[in-house]
Every structure is written in C-alpha cells, then in structure tokens.
Structure 1
C-alpha cells in the first residue's frame, strides 16, 4: 500500500510556502556560511526537496510544480538575459555549439550501448530509447512528442519519467560539484577560477541600489516578452503551413516558445541596450526564481518509486548520461574546451536549456547564460530527428 504525502498535492499555499521558504533558506545559508558556499545553494535546495519528498512530507507531483515550470521558469529567462551582450553571446555560442553536438553524439552512443545491454529485460526499449534520445538532446517537449508519435504504453512512459527525473536530480548535483574536484581543476581550463572565493562571493551578494521603478520595469518587460513570445509561437504553429522543408524549419525554430523568447529578448536588449543595462535588480529577481526552480527539480527524485517500479530504467538512463558526459569530457579536453563549456553543453542536452541556465547562474558563469539558452533551445529542433533516427536503428535490432 502506497502511503500519501503528509501535504496533499492540492494544498497550493502550503506547497508554495515550502518551496519559496526553502529557496530562501538555501540562499541565506550560501551567503552566511562557508560550508554552504562550498556546497552551493543549488545543491542545498535540491537535496532539501529530495528529502522532503522521499520522507513523504510533500508530494512528488502537484499543479504547483507545474506552475513553476510553466510560469516561473519562462519569466526568469528574460530577467537573466537583460544584461547579456549579444556580440559576446554569438562569439561564445559558436564554441558551445561544437561541444553541444559532441554531447548529443554521446547521448546517441550511450542509448545504443544501453539498449544492447538491457533490451532483453525491458519491454518497448526501442520506443524508450528513441524518447530518451530526443529528451537528452532536446528536452521534455521532444520526449512528449516521441512518446505520442510511437504510441508507447502509458505505464512505460510513466516509469521512464520517474527514472529520468530521479537520475537528473543526481546528475545535476554532479555537474555542480565537478568543477570543484582537484582532478578537474588540474586537467581542465576555466574562465571562472575565483567563482567560489570569499571575495567573489561577497561581491556577488553585496547589496545593490535598486529603485521601485527598476523592479517595475524589469518585471513588466519580462512578462511582456514571455506573453508575446509564447503567443507568437502558438500563432506560428497554427498559421504557418508545413508544406515544404523551409517552412517546416521556420515553424520548428520560431514555433518553439523558449527559442522565440530567447531570440526576442536578445533582439530587444540589443536595440535598447542602454535602458536594460541601467535596470537594477533584474538578475537578482531572476536568480531567486531559478532557486525556486532548483527546489522543484529535486522534488520528483523518489528513490522508493524507482526501486519498486523501474530499477532497470534507472540503469538505462545512467548509462546514457555516462556516455554523454564521458565523451564530452574526453573530446572537450582534447579540443581544449573550458570545463564550464563542457558541463553546460552536457547539461543542455540532458536537462534542457532551462536547467543549463540554472547551472550557469548557480555557479556564477553569468557570461554563458545567454549562449547556453540559445544552444540548448536549438536542441529542441534536433531532438525529434535524432529520436526518430534512433527508433529506426533500434527497431532493426529487436
């Protein structure tokens, strides 16, 4: 018998209070204590949420969590991009594009190896392999599209989602921790060697002069950009025909709400750069929203559910991520990529652009937030094609 959580998934205000208070506690601990600064507030937020969900204090799913994904995450993107230099972003994006495709190849190789290893024990693994290829190059939208397209049984889809969410929470913590490991510091280059030094931390958290109008303009601009982008993407999907490959590509790019939001924000910031540079508080608000997101992505990591329903899928997903990160580190090292570029590219493929941007903010890699959002959202387009190709390949091996 499955015992429900102490707090029901419909207790909206209680869940919001827990999420926001724990995000605040994570920030407070990171600012006040050296041990917490070393671990990072992101990990504290994640682990706290995992403990609460695994000990049945809060549910592993709720409309509140969906609200964070549907509204809080989109709103954080423009707030964090208002200080982006578009010329620098283009320069950095070209490098990230290369390592992004290397990580994508790692995903496909890992899926193939995992399929060969576990196919005889997991049903519909050709479907699941295709879904995870799409998801670990693009994101959740690719996972949903491919699961629907391939008509995968609902129970297998649910089990895969549970395995994916649980492993991704751990994987995200691994990516946060890797740059601090002595072996990584020894063999990989970085542009952010002082990101966790006391001086850098003090500079980042020190009070800044923020006026009421700064907050008003920041939130009003962000909400407007999200509204226009999401509605625009919806209209493009409805109105633009897919009668030829050019129109299909246009629809795939600009019909994606996150890609359109990122593009539109960068254009607006490029045109009215002086206005957005003078806005104080936008990045701070965006960072707090990202910490709320950190809490929510830790919630679904229910190890009890994994052990009872999908242990082999847990292994399947781990194998894919091992090859994704392993190939990224090996080739990234050979091509002299910086460790932050490698980890963000791997994160963007496995977790999507929003989690990659969250990692960049959490680690202080602010100059890479814009570039990884651009590259990560391009994965949405590639994901469905790669997933379909993987399905054709794996189906021949069944």
Structure 2
C-alpha cells in the first residue's frame, strides 16, 4: 500500500509521531471534551485516520524503533517512584482477573474455530498465533508463527487483522470508564481518587499533570538511569536465554521464559533497584512526565497499522475470527469481574493485557492516571508471554487434529 510519506522518510515520520503526541497531550489538558476522550485515543485516532487516507505508511523502521527503544525506556521512568509494597498487594487481584480474561480468550478461540474452520484455509495455525497473541501480546504471535512454520503470506494477513483489532479494542477499553452507565455498576477507586484530588477549574488531565519543580540534574538522572537499567536488563535476559536451552524439558522452558524475557527482567530489576535505594529515586522529579510522553508516542504508533483497505484486501475472515475472540474475552472479563466485584480499572487493564500485552495495558493505566496499577499490570501482563505460547501451541495442535 503506497503512501504520501514513504517508509524511509525517517525525520518526517519522527516529526509526526512526536508532534502528534504533543498535540494530543495539549488537547487533553486544554479542553474538557478531549480530557473525557483522553489524549491516548486522540493520538491513536489521528494516526489511524492518516494511515487510512494514505498519508502515513502502514509499516516503517521508525515504528519498529518506537517498540524497540522508546517503550523500554519509558518503563523504568514510570516505575522509579513506585511503592513496591503496593505493587505486590495489587498484583494478586490483577493476576486473578487476568487469568479469568485468559479463559475468555480460550473460549473465544474455540468458538471462532468451530464457526469458521471450513471457511479459512490453514485456520489451525492462524488460530494458534492469534490465540497466543490475545493471551499476552504480539511477542507470542511471532513465537507461534515460528513454532508452526506458518507461510509468510498467512502471517502477514493475520498480523494485519491482529493489529487492527488491538487498536480498535484499545479504543473501546479506554472509552468504557468514561461511560456513566457502566461506571455506576462497578467499583472505580482509582478514578474516584483522581476526581477527589482534581482542581475543578482544570481538566482532569491538567490537574493531574500540574507543573512541578524540575532541574537539569533531575532530567539527567532520570534519563541516564533509565538507559542503564534497560541496557543491563536486556543484557541479563539475553545471557539467561543463552545459558538455558530452548528445547529442554518443561521446567527449563518455563525458567527460560521467565528469566529470559526482556520486559519481565526490566520490570523486576527496576522494582528491585527502587526498593533498595528508594530515597534516591524519590528525589528525582520529572521521571513520570518524561516516561508518559514517551508512552504517548507509542499510542500514535498503535493506530498506524489499523489499515481498513489492507484488512478488506487480505484478511476479512481472519478479522472476523479475531473479533469473535476479542468479543468473548470482553464478555467473560466484565461478566465474571462484575460477579466477583473486581474494580472496573482492574478488569479493563487485565483484558487489555491479554489482547495487547503488558505494554499497552501499562500505557492505558498511565494515560488514565491509574499510576498505582502500572507496576502490577506490567508484572501480571508479562505472565501472558509465558502461558500464551503454551495455550496457543496446545490449541493449534488440537485444531490440527480436527481438520
């Protein structure tokens, strides 16, 4: 699909990503309507619109750089002032609703497979990839595509459908807390706390992100520490992946997935360092603001791959398959969450972590100001990297036996 801006126009693409992220934040803090919609949705919709109008390319090295560098750097910045005790307290509840949401993904996959198995060629392997992806994010998608040796054309079609549904569902989930009818039926302690502390003369976003004292030293310490933590974490994960055999027994496979995962190592190491020297990080102002701005750049990138022409051309039935999984995941997550009195914020983030992975869930928590849930959802969400591969593999083999 040709676009007005070509994929190799690096500076133009960076200018759009960073510039539109800045505009989204400005609108969110300046206007009531934008605050209710949220800067994250404005960022996503703007990118989606320009991609579908043929102005932005659907794929580009710049987008890969955001996933590879911008997102990892944002995570330590956002965790530097995290209360480690609160993280462990919140992780238990989030883990339970995350696993319930995972059951929704599995149920949706099974239902979609039996409805569409005669209509989509190669569906067992496609189903394995999408089910794995909707249990913990795109990392599982790539692993399962390799596991089943799926043809490149099939992978490309499934990727388009997967990315489109993730972007649309992100939009739905981030809108749900703003719907009064839904909010009245769930506990919303994090939103209630934000509203109690908000200045009524400003939008909620502007009130939360008030101007604060910040020095050059703060910026240097925050950014410098983030680079070091990311570098050390990713190197440690790489070393463990090299030491632990990939094709060992079940225990070594699980161990490799845990200690060899980049994001799990990054989250764990950051929280460990913060717990060892809390006063050092408490004195650094601006880390949360810098990290949040980087996450808004990520929001823009999420909206880019949602190309409707590509969907209609390459993967309409695969899109239907993925949509069934997402819909059942949402129904199970919210129904069971309501039954067992989970907070609305917990349900939204757990379902997001299933469909999009821990990074999109953490990004949503940040954009909504649910900062106490950022660390917990990162920890819980990375569990999806481990169980997603097993679930996708098991269902893929079962589906294949039925064809």
- TM-score range normalised by the length of the shorter chain: over 0.9
What 5-or-longer segments of structure 2 have no aligned partner? none
Corresponding residue for 2:284?
Answer: 279
Match of 2:28 among 27, 30, 43: 30
Cα drift, residue 174 of structure 1:
0.3
Matches within 5 A, 1:190-205: 190-194=188-192, 195=194, 199=200, 200-205=204-209
Q: Write the distance in 1 (CA, Å) between the matches of 2:303 and 2:59.
A: 11
Q: Deviations over 1:347-371 (max 9, x none)?
A: 0010000000000011111100000
Cα drift, residue 163 of structure 1:
0.6
Match of 2:238 among 234, 237, 241: 234
Using the size of structure 1 for normalisation, the TM-score is: 0.97
Moved more, 198-207 or 132-141: 198-207
Corresponding residue for 1:181?
Answer: 179
Corresponding residue for 2:7?
Answer: 9
What 5-or-longer segments of structure 1 have no aligned partner? none
Q: Deviations over 1:257-289 (max 9, x none)?
A: 100000000000000111111110000000000
Corresponding residue for 1:251?
Answer: 256
Q: Deviations over 1:298-329 (max 9, x none)?
A: 00000011112111111111100011111010
Q: Write the distance in 2 (CA, Å) between the matches of 1:160 and 1:220.
A: 38
Match of 2:126 among 125, 128, 131: 128
Q: Aligned residues, how many?
A: 396
Corresponding residue for 1:319?
Answer: 324
Q: Deviations over 1:213-243 (max 9, x none)?
A: 1100001111101000111111111123464
Q: Does residue 1:356 correspond to 2:361, yes or no?
A: yes
Q: Write the distance in 1 (CA, Å) between the matches of 2:273 and 2:290.
A: 19
Q: Write the distance in 2 (CA, Å) between the matches of 1:101 and 1:121.
A: 30
Q: Write the distance in 2 (CA, Å) between the matches of 1:28 and 1:302.
A: 26
Q: Write the distance in 2 (CA, Å) between the matches of 1:258 and 1:193.
A: 27
Check the 8 A contact 2:137/2:357 in 1, yes or no.
Answer: yes
Corresponding residue for 2:273?
Answer: 268
Match of 1:374 among 367, 379, 386: 379
* Cα RMSD, aligned residues only: 1.2
Q: Write the distance in 2 (CA, Å) between the matches of 1:389 and 1:201.
A: 44
Q: Write the distance in 1 (CA, Å) between the matches of 2:371 and 2:304.
A: 26
Q: Write the distance in 1 (CA, Å) between the matches of 2:98 and 2:177.
A: 18
Moved more, 91-100 or 244-253: 244-253
Check the 8 A contact 2:191/2:370 in 1, yes or no.
Answer: no
Q: Does residue 1:225 correspond to 2:223, yes or no?
A: no
Matches within 5 A, 1:80-229: 80-194=78-192, 195=194, 199=200, 200-229=204-233
Q: Secondary structure at the match of 1:193?
A: helix
Match of 2:296 among 291, 297, 316: 291
Check the 8 A contact 2:353/2:361 in 1, yes or no.
Answer: yes
Corresponding residue for 1:333?
Answer: 338
Cα drift, residue 203 of structure 1:
2.7
Matches within 5 A, 1:19-98: 19-98=17-96
Q: Write the distance in 2 (CA, Å) between the matches of 1:311 and 1:203.
A: 43
Cα drift, residue 198 of structure 1:
5.5
Q: Deviations over 1:27-58 (max 9, x none)?
A: 01111111111111111000000011111111
Q: Write the distance in 1 (CA, Å) between the matches of 2:296 and 2:382.
A: 21
Q: Write the distance in 2 (CA, Å) between the matches of 1:389 and 1:151.
A: 15
Q: Secondary structure at the match of 1:396?
A: helix
Cα drift, residue 154 of structure 1:
1.1
Check the 8 A contact 2:177/2:183 in 1, yes or no.
Answer: yes
Cα drift, residue 379 of structure 1:
0.9
Q: Write the distance in 1 (CA, Å) between the matches of 2:206 and 2:154.
A: 48
Cα drift, residue 244 of structure 1:
4.4
Cα drift, residue 343 of structure 1:
0.7
Q: Write the distance in 2 (CA, Å) between the matches of 1:259 and 1:152.
A: 27
